[in-house]
Amino acid sequence: MKKTLGEFEQYLQEIHAKDYHGLDDDMPDAFNAWVSELDAEEMKEYEKEWSDEIDKGFALEAELLRLLIATRAEPGLELERVGGLIREAFDDAEIKSLIRKLR
């Protein structure tokens, strides 16, 4: 999970899309207009939120890897138990986010 300019732009597009109510064909132009109207402080806030989300993703992936390694060390551990461990460690939104990032 690298922090790249393209991924930051994608993050901003997702933020913009949440509140966008126009036509799909007009969305790229609306996004460009929205971004151009952001001031430096707003841009810094979005960058911090995005960076924090990326860093949290690293922590989630590390914990998931730890859980998966634990299942290898304990061959009798059933898939249901692994799922239970994952649900104990993460909330639903974190699991969905992690799954999207792993795809």
Going by pLDDT thresholds of 50, 70 and 90, the confidence category of residue 4 is low
Among candidate residues 43, 61, 63, 42, the one with its CA nearest the CA of residue 53: 61
Q: What pTM did the predictor assign? A: 0.56
Q: What is the mean pLDDT of residues 74-88?
A: 66
pLDDT at residue 82 in the model: 64
pLDDT at residue 52 in the model: 83
Q: How far apart are CA 89 and CA 38, in angstroms?
A: 36
Distances (CA, A) of 21 to 12, 26, 53, 77: 16, 10, 25, 48
Q: What digits encode the pLDDT tens for the residues 15-55?
A: 999 989 988 889 999 999 999 998 989 999 998 988 888 77
pLDDT at residue 78 in the model: 62
